[in-house]
Structures are given as C-alpha cells and as structure tokens.
Structure 1
Amino acid sequence: MWQDWLLELLKGFGKLFLNPVFYLSFLFAAYLGVARVKKERRHFTVRAQNAYFELKQLLPIGIIIGLCISVLSIGLVLVVPMEFVVFTGIITIVLALIGKTRMLSPVYSVGLGIVVSSVSLFLGWDYLLFSKSNLNSSEYIFPTAVILLGLLIISEGIFVRQNGIEGTSPRLKKSKRGQAIGIHLLERTWILPVFLFIPTGVLTIPFQWWPMFTVGDQTYSLLLVPFLIGAKIVVQGEHPIISIRNIGRNIIILGSIVIVAGSAAYFFPIASLGLVIVAMIGREWITRKQINKEKNKSFYFSRKNNGVVILGIVPDSPADKMGLEIGEMISKVNSIPVQDKNQLYKALQKNSAHCKLEVFDANGEIRFVQRALYEGDHHELGLLLIPDENVHGNEAV
C-alpha cells in the first residue's frame, strides 16, 4: 500500500513540470522585476532592488506554505476534478499574460476556475483535454474546491503580510496640487505548489465516514498543482509596513471565513458557488476599504518643514549599513538642520569623512546614527528622497 502512495507522490511531483503555469510564473516574476527597475530608474536614476528580487521571492516561502497545505489537503482528502485544475490554469495564464497582477489573487483565478468547471460539469462539455468527467452529473458543485479556495486565500494573506512588506518599490507622483509626493508599491507573485487528489488512479481512501460525496468506491491519484498568487497594493497614506500587514490580516480573516462556510457547504452543496461570489465580494471590499482609507489620510511621504523623509533606501548602501529605514525623517546632518534634499546634500559635504544624522523614527522618537564616509560615499549615500520641486530629474542622495 505504501509503495502505491510513494509512487503516486513521485508521479504527481513530476507532473508539476508539465504544467505551463509553473514556467509562466518565472517569466512573469522576471517581467515584474525588469519593469520595476525601469520605473525606479526613471524616478530616481537608481533602482531600490535589483531586477532579480521578484524571482528570489517567488519560491522559498511558497514551498513552505505549499507543504503545509499539501499535508492538510491529503489529510482532509481534498478531491477536485481535472476540469478544475485545467480551467484554473487557463484563467491564471490569461490574467498573467494581460498583466493583471491584482487579479492573480486566488479569489479571482481559483474562484473563476471553480465557477467555470462547475458549469462545464453541469453542461457536460467535451474537450480534448478531458473527454468525459470523472464525476457524476449530480456532483458538479463541489465544496472541496471551496475549502481549497479558503486555504489559498489564507496563503495569499500570509504572503502579503510576511513577505510583501520586504522590498516594496518607492515611486514618485504628483498630488492634485502639483506637489511631488512619494508612494510605495507592492506588486509581486508567489508560486504555491499543492498536492491534490484527482479522481481515477490507484489510491483508495479508507475513510468511509468522511462527509464527502466523492469518497467511496472511487480511486484517486495525487497531482502537484502550481498556483500562481499575485498581489498589487499601492500605499501613500501611511507607512507601507503597517498598511500591508493590515491588508494581509484582513485577507487571512476572509480565507478563514470561506473555510468555515465551505465546511458547512458539504451539507448544502448548492451553496458552494454562492460562497465563491461572496469571497470575491469580500476581497474587493478589502481593496476598496484600503483605497478609501488612503484617500482620507494625508500623504505619508511628502515634503516636511522639519526634516527630510526617507522614501527608499538602496540595499547595501551606506544608508542601509547605518540602519536607516524608510519612513524615518532626517532632521539634522552633521548638526546642521535640513529641510530638503539640496540642504541635506550640502550638509553632507561639510564633512566628507564622517556623517552624523539626527533621525526621527516612525514613532516620532529621536535617535542618532553616524558612520565614517569613504571616498564617494557622500555622493552616493543610498537615500531615495522626495525631490525639491517636481518629480522629474530626481536623483538619489
């Protein structure tokens, strides 16, 4: 028996490399990295992170979370038809090709996959990919997929909350009054590989008591399915870490609600499609709530009368090694008060060998940082700041 399970696990893992979503994920992440670098150079003449940053974030955390969900998937016997896998993959590919990163939330890609595959099973659509469904016509609505959707939504929230706060992209824009302000953009994707049960195979499920209409006399195979999860969030009214963590928390709560409701849908299968719609509405509500919240707040990254706000920091730069962080405000450089980028640059030149900064952190508490400067450091401290007059021709300090 265990030999069959091991063989199916290996076969299911190998099929991961036959899924086009797996390869598209790397191409799309590379595209996001290149596009981000181009925009950052246009605004600051330097980039905050290198073009490989998005690629480096694509897999590591996804493998860990995917392993946890796979354990739950196998333990809970999450059985989905092949139609669901195919349609979800097609929708994901289309959304990625048209550059809709925000729509790569599982609420939309997986949710639409559930709807379309449910309709195909109900209407008995016939395709070259699968000539006939392995499920009975009465089983076209499947709460199992809704449980999976909830797990994937929670995963999105974890991705956003834990990984999304790292390396957000600083940008410049003009306010309605024509003043230069700074914003932070999170636009990133993650691969989440999950083992799922597919009808037909050599595995039998011994849990006759399990409340699933797909468990019984059927046999199953295991398939490692790569889900491409994306997020796009613009923050301008508060510190990006605070805003993004709050959004991630709300997404996790939404996913938890979907799982609880999906469990109840085992006894009321017709509710499954309704839950998908509710999940989509909930995710849109989270997005709109954040947008409206931003509108009612003053700009977090804007010119101040008592210092210079740090919009971004180049990794491994002198500013990074001094422990400076985005959102902090530099009030004095070498004991000289500064109010804009030009004054900061002149104050740095007063002492080309040493740099002492008076800084207010995100909580408004004052601290002092200092560092010896080497040749060229005073020209390239690694700070990305709000320009003095307009958003054009800005350079990093």
Structure 2
Amino acid sequence: MFDVLQAVAVFFLNPLFLLILLVAVALGYRRVKRERKDFNIRKLPGLTELRRLVADTWLHALILSVLLSGIGFVTDAGWIVLFSIVMLIVLVSFYYQWGSPIYATTLAFFGLVAWQQSGRTFSYRGWSLQDVDLLGQLAITIPVIAGLLLIAEGSLIRKSTVKYASPHLEKTSRGLRAAVFKVKTIWMLPIVLLVPGDMISAYVPYWPQFKLGAESFSFVPVPVLIGFSQIARKRFPDEVFPKLGKSVIWTGIAVTALGLGALYEPLIGWGALVIGVILRTVLTIIVAVQERSGGYAASPSAKGVVIAGVLPGSPAEKLGLKPGEVIRAVNGMHVANDKELYDAIQVNAAHCRLQVADRNGEVRLMQQVLYRHDHYQLGLLLVR
C-alpha cells in the first residue's frame, strides 16, 4: 500500500502540478480584484479558475490518454522533462498568449534535437541522450500529441471561454469608458503517456509497467498545461472565441494528419510541428489585430444603459439579458445611467419591466418578478 501511495504521489507532488494550482488561485484573485475595481462586484467567485482546471478537461484528458497509450504511441522520458520545463516557464511568465501546447511540445522536441546535435553525452538511470531516435518513433508521436492537444485546446476555447469572459472598463480615445472582455485562464490535462525503459520503476517498484519483448514500458501521468489569453474589444466573446476555437481545432487536425505522415518520412513530422507553431501564432495575431482596430462593441450610448456583463443565476440572467444590449427604460421611465436604472426599479416592488434594445437595435419588452433582496441585485455589470 505504501508503494501504491508513493506512485500516486509522483503525480500529485509534481512541482508543476502544485504550481498550476497556485497560479489558478492567483488568476482568480486578480480577476476578482479588477472586476470589483470597475463594477464594485465580481462576476464569478475567485476560485472559479481553480475549479475549472480539471472540471473542463477531464473528458479530453481521458480520451487522449486512451488514444495515445492504447494505440501505443511511445514518448521519451527526456522529452517529457523538457516539455514540463517549458510549461513551467510559460506558467510563471503569465504570458498565456503563448500557452498553447503546440509551443511546449515543439520547443521540447527541437531542444532534444539541438542537445543531441551539440555532440554532448548525457545519461541518467538508463536514459541516454544518444539513444533518443528523433527520426524514428518520436518523429511520429510528438507531432500526433501536439495535434491532439491542439484539438483539445480548440474545444476548450470554443466551449469554455464565452461563459467565463471577464468584462472590465477601458478608456476610449474620447475619454469615455467602454467595456472589453478578457479571458486569461489555464487548464490542466492529466494525461497518461507511454514511456520506454525502467527509469521510473527504479524509484517506485509498483509503478504500472509492462513488457513487450525484451523492452519495458511505464505509464507516466503528466500534468499538461494549456494557457489562453485573449481580449474581445471590437466584438463580443460569443462572436470571437467560438470561431477562434474552431480554427485551432482545424489546425490540430492538420498537425495530427501531418504527424501520421511521418510514418513514411520522419521529416514530415518535424515539419508538422513547425507548421503548427506558425498557424497557431498567426491565429493569435489575427484576432489581436482585429480586436484592436475599430471601435468598441460595448461603449456608452445616449439611448440608455449598456450592459457589460450579467451575473450567473441573477434576475438579469433569468430575463435573458446579454452583454452589449441597451436598457432604454425601466418601469416606464427612461434611464441613462446606473443610478437612474436602480431608482426606476424601486417604482414597482413586485415587477421589473424593461425596454431593451438588442445588439441589432431591435427593441423588446420583458419583465421579471423581483424580491426584496433583488432590488439592488439585479445582476448587471454596466458600462458607466
């Protein structure tokens, strides 16, 4: 039992795993601090990023682990170490624009290439730098891993970023304050990889292992970091991030397909990694440039009060209000700012009747029953 617990501790006491937990808490704290500064209230609890670390990714991690280990894609212990080091550097840098796993997988692979080409010799616990065949199995495995991780990243961006986009206020060129929507988050995929050799079993005798012929293989759990940081300014999050996620998925499919092409020519796998880095970088730059040009999607309006965000579970969410919509009147009274809005709510203690213009300018009427504790907790973050 002690050996089993020791094996589990290899993953849960991994410095990268522990640091990911701490950084997730720090990201939530910084987000809440910024939201309270702009709106005097936070949109989501501070531990949201921590709770989402694996809650959003466990299915992706399970599928990838079964695919990679089940099919028999073998990685390398040295590559895993370099891969973890690169992820660690990205994690502590907080520059999550470059947190896509394609960068870490590629840097770790070509790091091994450069290290091997330097002519130096290195060996540790049965692992030898000279024995790493970068034109063999790894030329297939690493690009396939990179491609599948890109697919997972795109899926997470597409499904898990719109809901958690954090609004904050930014000064426009005219001195007004408009809303921008920022997503800065990390995910962790606990993926099980197949590694040849007995380097791990030398430390933990009961670590899961099997033999194929004369060679031993171990199942190694690796906490894979995916970082994402993007701002929606010209458009709304539901207009930007799903499209970006779809593009990342297609990039991952292309990298995976090219990686499998390394079965015929190993250098195709090398090229797949380079192409993946280029395409992912281009996607990041394109979105950044597009969102910096032009005006703001949620800027002050003379027609009413502009919504910057909606608190989950609030009366405003039950009303179906969305960021970018304009509240023109409340209980029959025209409103131009947040004070007038909440003053108008008090006119009727039982019902809140709103006249709202959607993003296309179409006006609709809606109402919601309010209770005593709702009067000043409609659940809106407003551009002001």
Alpha carbons 1:81, 1:135 under 8 Å: kept: no
- How many corresponding residue pairs? 369
Identity of aligned residues (%): 31
**2:179 equivalent to 1:172:** no
Which of 249, 252, 262 in structure 2 is aligned with 1:252?
A: 249
User: How far does the alpha carbon of each residue in 1:324-364 deviate from its partner, in whole angstroms, 9 at most, with x for none?
Assistant: 23232222211223333343233223334431112233455
Task: String of CA shifts for 1:263-283, please: whole Å, max 9, x gaps.
Answer: 112322234333322211111
What does 1:152-167 correspond to in 2, within 5 Å? 152-167=149-164
Whether the aligned pair in 2 keeps the contact of 1:95 and 1:104 (CA below 8 Å) is yes
Tell me which residue corresponds to 1:340: 337
Q: 1:78 to 1:121 in 2, by over 3 A?
A: farther
Q: 2:234 aligns with which of 237, 247, 251?
A: 237
Consecutive unaligned residues of structure 2, counting only runs of 5 or more, are 199-208
1:103–1:109 contact (8 Å) kept in structure 2: no
Q: Report the equivalent of 2:90.
A: 95
Q: Given the two structures, how large is their TM-score scaled by the length of structure 2?
A: 0.88
Alignment match, 1:132: 128
- Partner deviation per Cα, 1:125-161 (whole Å, 9 max, x = no partner): 5266875248355647622101100000111101111
The one-character-per-residue Cα deviations of 1:148-187 (angstroms, maximum 9, x if unpaired) are 0000011110111111122211111012222211001111
Q: Distance in 1 between matches of 2:346 and 2:75?
A: 65
Cα distance between partner residues in 1 of 2:214 and 2:274? 32
Question: What residue in structure 1 maps to residue 139 of structure 2?
Answer: 142
1:365 Cα deviation after fit = 4.3
Matched position secondary structure for 1:142: helix
**For the residues of structure 2 that align with 1:300 and 1:88, how far apart are their CA atoms?**
39
Distance verdict in 2 for CA 1:109–1:12, change over 3 Å: farther
Q: 2:81 is matched with which residue?
A: 86
Confirm or deny: 8 A CA contact 2:260 2:269 kept in the other structure.
no
Residues 157/129 of structure 1: CA separation in 2 closer, same or farther (3 Å cut) = farther
Report the alpha carbon displacement of residue 107 of structure 1 after superposing the two structures with TM: 1.7
CA RMSD, Structure 1 to Structure 2 (Å): 2.5
TM-score normalised to structure 1 length: 0.85
The amino acid of 1:262's aligned partner reads: G
User: Do the aligned partners of residues 378 and 204 (structure 1) sit closer, same or farther apart at CA in structure 2, a change above 3 Å counting?
Assistant: same
Corresponding residue of 2:72: 77
Separation in 2 of the partners of 1:253 and 1:345?
A: 46
**AA of the residue aligned to 1:81:** D
In structure 1, give the amino acid aligned to 2:92.
L
1:295 aligns with 2:292: yes
Larger CA deviation: 36-45 vs 269-278: 269-278
Rounded Cα–Cα distance in structure 2 between residues aligned with 1:145 and 1:119:
16
Q: Distance in 1 between matches of 2:177 and 2:66?
A: 49
* TM-superposition CA deviations, 1:195-241 (whole Å, max 9, x none): 21101155345xxxxxxxxxx86432111111011100100111211
Are the equivalent residues in 1 in contact too, given 2:192–2:221 (CA < 8 A)? yes
Q: SS where residue 219 of structure 1 aligns?
A: strand
CA distance in 2, matches of 1:331, 1:127: 71
CA–CA distance in structure 1, aligned partners of residues 99 and 182 of structure 2: 16
Q: Distance in 2 between matches of 1:179 and 1:129?
A: 62
Residue 63 of structure 1 deviates from its aligned partner by 1.1
Say whether residues 1:63 and 2:70 are aligned partners: no
State which of 203, 208, 233 in structure 1 corresponds to 2:210: 203
* Alignment partner of 2:367 out of 341, 366, 370: 370
What is the aligned partner in structure 1 of residue 223 from structure 2?
226
Partners in 2 of 1:358 and 1:189 — Cα distance?
A: 38
Asked if the contact 2:169/2:180 (under 8 Å) is kept, the reply is yes
